[in-house]
């Protein structure tokens, strides 16, 4: 059998069993399972890894549970500003959108940027104009906003005023739920996709690692496909997703060792987060240095696995 499979994440952060109600845990597991199976179904019928990662990420963008699409976290003005990117490991083509406010599924627009424009990254109004030209239906920003995220923003703004160490630590607990998927198809092609609302209470216009090829997303058939989640500034400074690939290409590390090394580097700078990766043989890695990461994988005919809590 030709190797194929998919790995997904729904964000890394403070995810403790004691803090997640049984109902919510069940909802997360169901949503992760649906995303995983949607992506896997594309691969099983011989579809491309690009179509698989878009299918999986679209489901998580549409779920209010995750910090992407509907249910995205809010910036300091109470607005959802969304970032996403996608990369094709076969051609090394990439597409991304940053700070979009009206595109229902940013990952689908990132795909259109890759497939239908000569560019790699579009921002804000330019991205939305491109979306209109491509026939995307735009939604109101209120479509993305949930009561839960409004409450989180209020709490985050109160904590930010306090400026104490414990308030800062508590603040870190808000921002997770970014979604991503990496896949290997039956033709040996790798792809990666990531989508997020960014960080709670971020300044308007702040862009993180997620829409940046090489930082939050990277895929190369010669090595692996990677999607990251966590404190984006650290993923940008370590060029995290590309670094996993570079460690495999230049130092001969396997996907597991390369992925762990990058999370170690992020941790050494004081950053928190996790990433998912898959290589050409369908070997996977899901390291994180937070208490948990919503995640799942279904690879090489094995049954689907969905996990939430820690130690990787
Ligand atoms: N990496 C995302 C960002 O910094 C957030 C996250 O993954 O939690 O925008």
Instruction: Express each pLDDT in 11-30 by its tens digit.
Output: 998 888 878 899 999 999 99
Q: Could you identify the atom of ligand 1 that is nearest to the CA of residue 232? A: 4
pLDDT-based confidence at residue 237 (cuts at 50, 70, 90): very high
pLDDT in the model for residue 139: 98
Which of 96, 79, 78 shows the shortest CA–CA distance to 87? 96
Give the number of other CB atoms < 10 A from CB of residue 311: 6
Q: What percent of the chain has pLDDT over 70?
A: 99
- The CATH number assigned to the domain with range 5-309 reads 3.60.20.30
pLDDT in the model for residue 250: 98
For residue 274, pLDDT beyond 70: yes
pLDDT-based confidence at residue 77 (cuts at 50, 70, 90): very high
pLDDT in the model for residue 50: 98
Q: What percent of the chain has pLDDT over 90?
A: 89
Among 58, 178, 210, 290, the active-site one is 178
d(CA 248, CA 177): 28
For residue 297, pLDDT beyond 60: yes
Alpha helices by DSSP H, listed for the chain, are: 22-44, 49-62, 106-116, 124-133, 147-162, 165-172, 232-237, 240-251, 255-268
Can you give the length of the chain in residues? 312
For residue 308, pLDDT beyond 90: yes
Average confidence (pLDDT) over 36-62:
98
Pocket of ligand 1 (CB under 6 A): 11, 175-176, 178, 196, 198-199, 208-210, 229-230, 232
CA 1 / ligand 1 centre spacing (Å): 36
CA 198 / ligand 1 centre spacing (Å): 5
178 is catalytic: yes
Average confidence (pLDDT) over 123-134:
98
- The alpha carbon torsion through 45, 217, 195, 190 (nearest 10 deg) reads 0
pLDDT in the model for residue 158: 94
pLDDT-based confidence at residue 106 (cuts at 50, 70, 90): very high
For residue 143, pLDDT beyond 90: yes
Longest C-alpha distance within the chain, in Å?
57
pLDDT in the model for residue 171: 78
For residue 312, pLDDT beyond 60: no
pLDDT in the model for residue 175: 66
For residue 245, pLDDT beyond 90: yes
Average pLDDT, the chain: 95
At CA 15, angle to CA 10 and CA 20, rounded to 5?
A: 100
Residues 6+ apart with CB under 8 A from 236: 208, 209, 212, 215
d(CA 256, CA 284): 7
d(CA 33, CA 12): 17
DSSP string, 263-294: HHHHHHTT--EEEEEEETT--EE--BSSSEEE
CA 3 / ligand 1 centre spacing (Å): 30
Which of 107, 93, 118, 86 shows the shortest CA–CA distance to 227? 86
Counting ligand 1 atoms within 8 A of each CB, the residue from 13, 176, 199 with the most, and so the one to mutate, is 199
Q: Which protein residue has the closest C-alpha to ligand 1 atom 9?
A: 198
């Amino acid at each position: 059998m030709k190797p194929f499979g998919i790995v997904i994440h729904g964000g890394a952060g403070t995810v403790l069993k004691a803090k997640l109600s049984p109902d919510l845990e069940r909802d997360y597991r169901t949503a992760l399972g649906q995303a995983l199976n949607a992506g896997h179904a594309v691969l099983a019928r011989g579809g491309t890894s690009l179509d698989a990662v878009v299918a999986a990420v679209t489901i998580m963008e549409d779920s209010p549970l995750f910090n992407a699409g509907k249910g995205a976290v809010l910036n300091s003005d109470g607005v959802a500003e969304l970032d996403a990117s996608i990369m094709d490991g076969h051609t090394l083509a990439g597409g991304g959108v940053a700070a979009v406010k009206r595109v229902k599924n940013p990952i689908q627009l990132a795909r259109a940027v890759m497939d239908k424009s000569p560019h790699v990254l579009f921002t804000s109004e330019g991205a939305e104009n491109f979306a209109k030209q491509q026939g995307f239906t735009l939604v109101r920003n209120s479509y993305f906003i949930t009561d839960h995220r409004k409450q989180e923003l209020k709490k985050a703004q109160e904590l930010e005023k306090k400026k104490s160490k414990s308030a800062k630590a508590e603040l870190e607990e808000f921002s997770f739920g970014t979604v991503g998927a990496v896949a290997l198809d039956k033709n040996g092609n790798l792809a990666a996709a990531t989508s997020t609302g960014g960080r709670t209470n971020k300044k308007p216009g702040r862009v993180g690692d997620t829409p940046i090829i090489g930082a939050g997303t990277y895929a190369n058939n010669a090595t692996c496909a990677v999607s990251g989640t966590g404190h984006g500034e650290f993923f940008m400074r370590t060029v995290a997703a590309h670094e996993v690939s570079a460690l495999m290409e230049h130092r001969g590390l396997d996907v597991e060792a390369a992925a762990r090394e990058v999370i170690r580097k992020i941790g050494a700078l004081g950053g928190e987060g996790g990433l998912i990766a898959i290589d050409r043989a369908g070997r996977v890695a899901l390291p994180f240095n937070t208490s948990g990461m919503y995640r799942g994988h279904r690879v090489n005919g094995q049954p689907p696995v969905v996990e939430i809590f820690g130690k990787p």
